[in-house]
Amino acid sequence: MWSRIKAFADKHPRLTAWIALATGMVIILVIAARNVGLLWNQWLFLILATIGLAGLCVWIISWEPDEEDAEKKPPEQPSQQTGKPS
């Protein structure tokens, strides 16, 4: 069972991060708002919004270049402009 979970995580790292982050955020939401007296539809909306927010967080974090990609690429040379100085 654990080997299947590890294989899934290796194959889908962003989805795995989304699931893990969303699970933690929903648990924190439920603990923090358990005594607020929300209706069932308010709970549903908050949980769905939290899951969506976790997905956005993982997506934004994925914008960062991978360390391996940065090591493979040569550093960019600044382009020299020719022409009149402004």
**Per-domain residue ranges for the chain?**
2-64
Q: Say if pTM beats, i.e. exceeds, 0.75.
A: no
Q: Say yes or no to pLDDT of 73 above 80.
A: no
Could you count the other beta carbons within 10 Å of the beta carbon of residue 15?
13
Q: What is the mean pLDDT of the chain?
A: 87
Provide the H-helix boundaries in the chain: 2-11, 13-33, 40-61, 67-72
Q: Are 28 and 54 in contact (CB under 8 A)?
A: no
> What is the mean pLDDT of the segment spanning 21-43?
96
